[in-house]
Amino acid sequence: MTEYPSMIFATLQPQPMSDNRDARYARHLMLPDFGPEGQTALENARVACIGAGGLGSSALLYMAAAGIGTIRIIDHDQVEISNLQRQIIHGTKELGRRKVDSACERLQDVNPLIKIEPIFSRLNGENALDLLDGMDLVIDGTDNIPTRYLLNDACEILGIPWVHASVFRYEGQLTVFNLSGSANYRDLFPKAPPPGSIPSCSEAGVLGALPGILGTMQAMEAIKIIAKVGSPLTEQLMILDTRKMNSRTLSYSKDTSRARAVKLDRQNEYIDPGCEVQKVPDMQSMTVTTLHDLMDGENGPFLLDVRRPNEETICTIPGTDLRVEHTQIVQNLDSIPKDRDVVVYCRSGIRSMSAIAALAANGWKFEQLWNLDGGILAWSREIDPTMPRY
C-alpha cells in the first residue's frame, strides 16, 4: 500500500462478464429493472468510503460483494479491541493493523474481481478534493461533525452525491445528499453544534448491530443510485429507533438562499475539536506519567473527572477527587478548589479542554489548570494496562 499523496491509481476498465461473473452476480442478473445493465453500471462505478469503522464495515462488504468496480477506502486509524463489537470487517487477528489494510484484505477475499484503493490518511481541507475527484459516489462512514461539513463541501464542489448515515446509542439516521443538485448537509444542518455538545459513540455508546444496519442501508442506496433502480432517499431523513424497531421519515429541502461552496477552508472550519491547533493557547497539558508521580507525593493536585456517570462505572483513575460531567461544570464550581492545581481528565483529552475553558472563564487561573494529555486511555496504556479501555 502506498500512502497519499504519492498514490497514483489506474482507472478500472470495464470487462465483459465471464461465466464466473455470471455465477457470482446471478441473483442481480435475475432482478427486474436491474439485469446485465445494472451490474455493468456497478462494475464501472468508482465509490469512496470515508472511514472503515462501524458504518464503513458493512457498507464496504456489501458494495464489494455487489461488484462495485473500484472502492477507495480513506481512513487514518488502527484496529483497536473496542472496535470489534461493531466493526465486523476486522477481526481479532487484525488488532493494531491499519484499518485500510485490514479492510482491503477482507474485501479482496469477498470479491477478487474488484479494485480496492486503500488510502491511509485523514480526510482534511488540504486533500479532500484530490482524494474524492473522479468518484461517482461517496459513502459517509465518518464519526465526527466537522468532517461531515468538509465532506459535504467537497462533494458540492465536485458535484458528487454522497450517502450519509449516523448512529447514536440505539438510533440511526440515513439520507442521500447532493444527488443531481438535491439538498445537502448544510441545508439540513446549517450550523454546527458547539464542540463537545454531542457525544461521540465512544462517549455515549452504541449498540453494536446498529451501524451494521445503517451501513448496509448505505450500500443499498449506493447500489440503487448507480444502477438507477428505485427512488433514492434524497431530501428525506430516515430515523430508525432499534429499541422499538420502528422508523419515521422527515422531509427537508434545499435552501435556495444558501451560497454554494466554491472552495474549502484549509485552516480551521473542518478541524476536529480535539486537534492540537484548537486548544486554547494558554492551556497546559500534563502527561499521565507526571500525574502518577505527583499523586505518589505530598500535596498532589485535585483530580477532576469530567466524563459521564456510565463511563465512571467502567473505570476511573485512582485518587480522583470529583466527577462532574463537562457540561455541568458551571453548576458545580463550589466543589472545585481555587487554591490547588487542578488536573482535568476525560476519556481522551477532548471534553476536559472544554471543562478547563469553563473554569478559566469563571475565575480559575490557567496556570493552575492542567489537561491530562490523552485522558484515561493514556493512563490505561502507560500506567495501568489492566484498566479497561472503551
- For the CA atoms of 59, 65, 71, 74, the dihedral, rounded to the nearest 10 degrees, stands at 40
Confirm whether 49 is a catalytic residue. Answer: no
Residues 6+ apart with CB under 8 A from 347: 202, 203, 307, 311, 375, 376, 377, 390
Pairing between β-strand 162-168 and β-strand 70-75 as defined by DSSP bridges: unpaired
103 to each of 51, 77, 93, 204, 247, how far by Cα in Å?
A: 10, 12, 13, 26, 30
Pairing between β-strand 322-323 and β-strand 236-241 as defined by DSSP bridges: unpaired
Return d(Cα 235, Cα 233) in angstroms, integer.
7
Confirm whether 346 is a catalytic residue. Answer: yes
Q: Which of 49, 104, 155, 201 is catalytic?
A: 201
Three-state secondary structure of the chain: CCCCCCCCCCCCCCCCCCHHHHHHCHHHHCCCCCHHHHHHHHHHCEEEEECCCHHHHHHHHHHHHHCCCEEEEEECCECCHHHCCCCCCCCHHHCCCEHHHHHHHHHHHHCCCCEEEEEECCCCCCCHHHHHCCCCEEEECCCCHHHHHHHHHHHHHHCCCEEEEEEEECEEEEEEECHHHCCCHHHHCCCCCCCCCCCCHHHHCECCHHHHHHHHHHHHHHHHHHHCCCCCCECEEEEEECCCCEEEEEECCCCCCCCCCCCCCCCCCCCCCCCHHHCCCCCEEECHHHHHHHHHCCCCCEEEECCCHHHHHHCCCCCCCEECCHHHCHHHHHHCCCCCCEEEECCCCCHHHHHHHHHHCCCCCHHHEEEECCHHHHHHHHCCCCCCCC
Q: Which sequence positions are flagged as catalytic?
A: 201, 346
